[in-house]
């Protein structure tokens, strides 16, 4: 099993890390008065386990060749990854106030050339997994033991290019590839399962030859076990973790809001959301 370096640097619990990611995302949303905070709050637990349990990286050297690669296929989730990168010490906390501004290193959609730790420029949905396949092939060809993690959305399951990449990963027996699907059952026009149902999802991935798990993506214990199982599987096959998440998780008044792809947060509600979060700070 690969060394876990990030966790060793801190005694902070995963719950506290996830809380920190949520807080930073809300702070960035407040700076702009908008942002994909519903997605960030929903995927915060997945990011906490990725960065503080599973992945190897060196905060002081984001380009360290031995790092596991984390690809954000969903460029609009950039606010979530920035929050994780700040929590991980790869980006400085004082840049939160620049979020989405001209010349910021944190534009509203993820851009690889702008931001340390942002491995690819995502955003055109359905491309991350194909890039991840190429990266996993390249790392293996160089004899590396790094994993490539690709975070994608349920909406991307409707893209044909995703399934080409799925088959390609199987063909090449990419055991160093771990795909994470943020299944929030939400797309731009409503619930994903109403738009284009591809379920049952895990059996489908398995039928394509993948090691597939489906977990509650807001349960840190379940996530930790799933990431361990994905990394430790001995099969010559790629792995996927389908994470069922709840948008706006952790802020009840936003969780209850009629869910849209881009959650509306009124100007006075940012402070209210931060107060609610602060009252729930884990040790």
Ligand X SMILES: Cc1ncc(C[n+]2csc(CCOP(=O)(O)OP(=O)(O)O)c2C)c(N)n1
CB of 107: closest distance to Mg ion in angstroms?
21
Please give the residue ranges that form the binding site for ligand X (CB under 6 A). Answer: 39, 74, 76, 123-126, 153-156, 184, 186-188, 192, 261
39 binds, among Mg ion, ligand X, none (CB under 5 to 8 A by kind): ligand X
- Least Cα distance to 181 among 51, 71, 23 occurs for 71
- Least Cα distance to 192 among 163, 157, 240, 242 occurs for 157
Nearer to ligand X, 72 or 90 (CB): 72
- Least Cα distance to 280 among 11, 52, 7, 20 occurs for 20
| C-beta atoms surrounding 264 within 10 Å | 11
170 binds, among ligand X, Mg ion, none (CB under 5 to 8 A by kind): none
Give 188's strand partners.
none
DSSP letter at 68 equals: P
245 binds, among ligand X, Mg ion, none (CB under 5 to 8 A by kind): none
* Helices 269-279 and 14-32: angle between axes, nearest 10 degrees: 170
Nearer to ligand X, 115 or 192 (CB): 192
CB of 34: closest distance to ligand X in angstroms?
14
CB of 66: closest distance to ligand X in angstroms?
31
CB of 217: closest distance to ligand X in angstroms?
12
Nearer to ligand X, 156 or 214 (CB): 156
Radius of gyration of the chain (CA): 18
Nearer to Mg ion, 231 or 246 (CB): 246
Please give the residue ranges that form the binding site for Mg ion (CB under 5 A). Answer: 153-155, 184, 186
**258: which residues sit within 8 A by CB, 6+ positions away?**
none
Give the integer Cα–Cα distance in Å for 82 and 270: 18
CB of 9: closest distance to ligand X in angstroms?
31
Residue 260's SS3 state is coil
Give the integer Cα–Cα distance in Å for 193 and 185: 7
125 binds, among ligand X, Mg ion, none (CB under 5 to 8 A by kind): ligand X
Nearer to Mg ion, 73 or 213 (CB): 73
CB of 153: closest distance to Mg ion in angstroms?
4
Tell me, rounded to whole angstroms, the distance of Cα 267 from its chain centroid. Answer: 27
Nearer to ligand X, 188 or 271 (CB): 188
59 binds, among ligand X, Mg ion, none (CB under 5 to 8 A by kind): none
């Amino acid at each position: 099993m690969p060394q876990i370096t990030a966790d060793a640097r801190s005694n902070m619990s995963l719950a506290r890390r996830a809380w920190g990611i949520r807080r930073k995302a809300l702070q960035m949303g407040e700076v702009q008065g908008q942002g994909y905070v519903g997605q960030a709050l929903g995927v915060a637990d997945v990011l906490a386990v990725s960065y503080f349990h599973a992945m190897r990286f060196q905060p002081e050297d984001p380009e360290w060749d031995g790092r596991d690669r984390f690809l954000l296929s969903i460029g609009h989730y950039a606010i979530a990854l920035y929050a994780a990168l700040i929590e991980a010490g790869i980006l400085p906390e004082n840049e939160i106030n620049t979020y989405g501004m001209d010349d910021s290193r944190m534009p509203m959609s993820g851009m690889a050339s702008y931001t340390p730790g942002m491995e690819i420029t995502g955003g055109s949905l359905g491309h991350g997994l194909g890039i991840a396949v190429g990266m996993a092939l390249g790392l293996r060809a160089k004899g590396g033991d790094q994993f490539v993690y690709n975070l994608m959305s349920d909406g991307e399951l409707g893209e044909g290019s995703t399934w080409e990449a799925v088959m390609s990963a199987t063909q090449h027996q990419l055991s160093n590839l771990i795909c994470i699907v943020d299944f929030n059952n939400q797309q731009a026009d409503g619930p994903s399962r109403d738009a284009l149902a591809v379920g049952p999802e895990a059996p489908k991935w398995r039928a394509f030859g993948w090691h597939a798990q489906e977990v509650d993506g807001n349960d840190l214990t379940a996530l930790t076990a799933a990431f361990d199982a994905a990394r430790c599987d001995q099969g010559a096959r790629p792995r996927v973790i389908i994470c069922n998440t709840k948008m706006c998780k952790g802020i009840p008044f936003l969780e209850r809001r009629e869910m849209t792809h881009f959650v509306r947060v009124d100007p006075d509600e940012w402070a209210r959301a931060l107060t609610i979060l602060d009252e729930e700070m884990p040790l």
